[in-house]
Chains A and B, each alone.
Chain A
């Protein structure tokens, strides 16, 4: 009798525990990981890489990055061709495809997605410009399009959202942003911006239907309605996102050409085939690295980054560990378009005129150890602000102070009247609170102590850190920058004088020659003349040392062999439409 009472719950427990593995591998289903929660599906708020990664599956822009092309370039997406730019470099005429429809959604009459028109692009940009949207991305258009700033100012007078979601102001014409007909857009810029085509490929410039914003109101951020290869099936915050193939998507095809070696690597096996290949894609959210890593090793995930603490378990000096290779796992390396550096506050009395002190500190910083210890040896020592992969990068370029030489640093300090650091106050190094940042700070302190320069580490929260940067309340600060678009201008503007805080030039660096060269370079297309200017700018920075240059990172991700067409792209993260899973 007793056993009959006990056995049903026991049997139930066993049955539940042995329930089929929901992560079991399936053909045409991709499972990936996100190491942080996705914030929103509103393109106007797509400020982080996770949001970008997920939004690119649903929303599309006029242009998109070519998947296999290096150097990075764009191709038409919702546009039918590359923009026609007049001789002044200011007027853009863009033709849109006439065969693209939004996904089916209840926001449309009858639930059937309608055709995308030029007016949708105009609406999307106007909404992004509207102050009430509180976008992160206004800077991509700020001051660039004629009449758009006036529209933004006028939007301040509108009643607060959610009232007046589609105000009459949206019907007013903007001088530099017009739909000539259903498939033609004319954009007039205030001055030439050769990198404007990249701006039009950023998620902030994604095309959204006004019906979705009107229908979902403030909840639009939870209900993406786009033209992309996938639709959002499920979004459980903190757990997972599930995408399914968009039946209305017919305009994407796998690239037919690639770089040398792509064919041998099997990256052109699907050339010309319609996209996407996947029926379903799932992203699981892992706040901690252990469950992500264990799930990947178990085969529950198709692709994963290598957690810092598990790096030696995956990669040896000879490459990927044999047991992982036997499991059918391969590593994919990617050179990030970024730079990390320590920034001097050039308005601080210690650094304003003391170039030799800055040069000495650059020489005294053991960057190779930083790369080994904090980036698992993956990274290139930076010699200039321009990272590899961009026009203007030159692997042979060497800053005279871009190597570790404490002896030369001491000599420079002596010449500067500070032998052994004498007469220098204790300096403050600002960083964000966290174990990794603190350890890096301590390493910097040790390196500087070796030449007699006393430095203390000051940790703060992320908002405080940003506030102090914008208010110039620091002496030295650890910082980094990742490319918004693949143009050297995006990195060289970080030292342009007028961009001083609250702009992006955190160093408050001002050099009239550099500024003048920047103004010329920023409006030029890539050419030998532009290259000469960039070289000169890099030399000025190398000599002035407004930053202690650290590195351009390299990242490594692992994927199972069953996933095809995987390459790492620093701007297109996990572009699922190109992936095929056997």
Chain B
């Protein structure tokens, strides 16, 4: 197992280097010269040359890339061109609000969708199953923006059940987070329920399930004690792959509900072409994605020894 993990970590290094190069090339050639934006409408030729030199943008491409790698290796993402803050501090500031929304939403979403999928599987081809499938398809068909705009207007503004927007740290923040969490859960249920239901149904066709039923066990008992543990491999893999998304936050939810998280920060950076922030977020997102892949593989190998052997 250890050698399996070591191999996967070693493979990640060239992947990460490739990502940094791709990121750098992309923003170097496609993003446009940031100096013109930084100096604004009143720039002149002397000031443009001066700022280009100050930012090191007059250095050869490979020197700039080397500087970028050197800074990354020191854990430095530089300073935002827009706000002049340290990017690492901006990320730390935004992490708390993002996670305060994402973690409860993720856990609730996983638990509810598993429960709904189990119910659908239990009552397969009956009206409850069909209703859940239809609702799931409807949920998948609506964009998250529709959920946000409608829920904010109806439940927060018209009904007054929730604050319209805002964020506070700690327990005082719960009322502010309640509606965005519910929206996150509602918007993500459709796809998850459909996927988990398919996994459960696949599992329920296996011979051990027939044996268990033949021994006289009830469907709910078979589902919870036998089907669920065996279905956990694809489900866990799916859940682990969703973990990096918790870090990047929900761009739309954070923007509409005024949650000062990383999604909100990323949108601002994109709108302002704030390349240090965009590069940092993309890089960290990539690292987390690779890490989630490794964890997913490890879980798979843990549950299924054939993977380790191959």
- Write the residues of chain A forming the contact surface with B, with a CB cutoff of 8 angstroms: 13, 16-17, 19, 21-23, 36-37, 39-40, 42, 45, 47, 131-132, 134, 136, 138-139, 142, 156, 218, 221-222, 236-239, 284-288, 290-291, 294-295, 297-298, 300, 460-467, 469-470, 481, 502-504
Contact = CB atoms under 8 A, between A and B. Distances in A.
A236 B260 contact: yes
A8 to B, nearest CB: 14
B168 interface: yes
A286 B166 CA distance: 10
Contact of B40 (A13, A16, A47, A239): A47
**B interface secondary structure, majority:** helix
Contacts of A36: 268
Given A294-B156, A298-B157, A19 B36 contact: no
A284 B156 CA distance: 17
A239 B258 contact: yes
6 contacts: A131-B50, A139-B42, A287-B255, A298-B157, A467-B36, A481-B41
A238 B171 CA distance: 20
A161 to B, nearest CB: 10
B175 A287 contact: no
Given A290-B152, A461-B32, A156 B50 contact: yes
A294 B152 contact: yes
Contact of A298 (B94, B164, B167, B258): B164
Contact of B164 (A236, A285, A294, A504): A294
Interface in B38-90: 38-45, 47-48, 50-51, 54, 82-85, 90
Given A21-B163, A238-B94, A239-B167, A463 B37 contact: yes
Contact of B157 (A16, A285, A297, A466): A297
Interface in B135-169: 149, 152-153, 156-157, 161-168
A467 B51 contact: no
Interface string B85-109: 1000010011000000000000000
Contact of A464 (B32, B43, B93): B32
Question: Which of B32, B34, B172 gathers most chain A CB within 10 Å?
Answer: B32
B258 A284 contact: yes
Given A19-B172, A156-B50, A502-B45, A463 B32 contact: yes
B83 A39 contact: yes
Nearest to B47: A138
Question: Which of B47, B157, B165, B268 gathers most chain A CB within 10 Å?
Answer: B165
Contact of B48 (A13, A134, A156, A470): A470
A481 B90 CA distance: 32
A237 B83 contact: yes
A47 B42 CA distance: 10
B231 interface: no
**A interface secondary structure, majority:** mixed
Contact of A142 (B41, B44, B164): B44
B153 A290 contact: yes
A238 B260 contact: yes
B153 A462 contact: no
A23 B267 CA distance: 26
Interface string B24-36: 0000000111101
B184 interface: no
A290 B256 contact: yes
B273 interface: yes
A369 to B, nearest CB: 27
Contact of B268 (A21, A23, A136, A238): A238
B196 interface: no
Contacts of A465: 32
B174 interface: yes
A237 B172 contact: no
Contact of B162 (A17, A138, A156, A297): A17
Given A156-B50, A287-B255, 7 more contacts: A134-B38, A136-B39, A237-B93, A238-B260, A239-B259, A239-B260, A503-B44
Contact of A221 (B31, B84, B164): B84
Contacts of A285: 258
B178 interface: yes
Contact of B37 (A13, A297, A462, A481): A462
A454 B83 CA distance: 42
A461 B273 contact: yes
Given A237-B260, A295-B164, A297-B157, A134 B255 contact: no
B133 interface: no
A294 B157 contact: yes
Given A17-B178, A134-B54, A502 B258 contact: no
A462 B41 CA distance: 12
B265 interface: yes
B175 A19 contact: yes
Contacts of A39: 82-84
B268 A463 contact: no
Given A22-B168, A463-B32, A464-B32, A291 B152 contact: yes
A222 B257 CA distance: 24
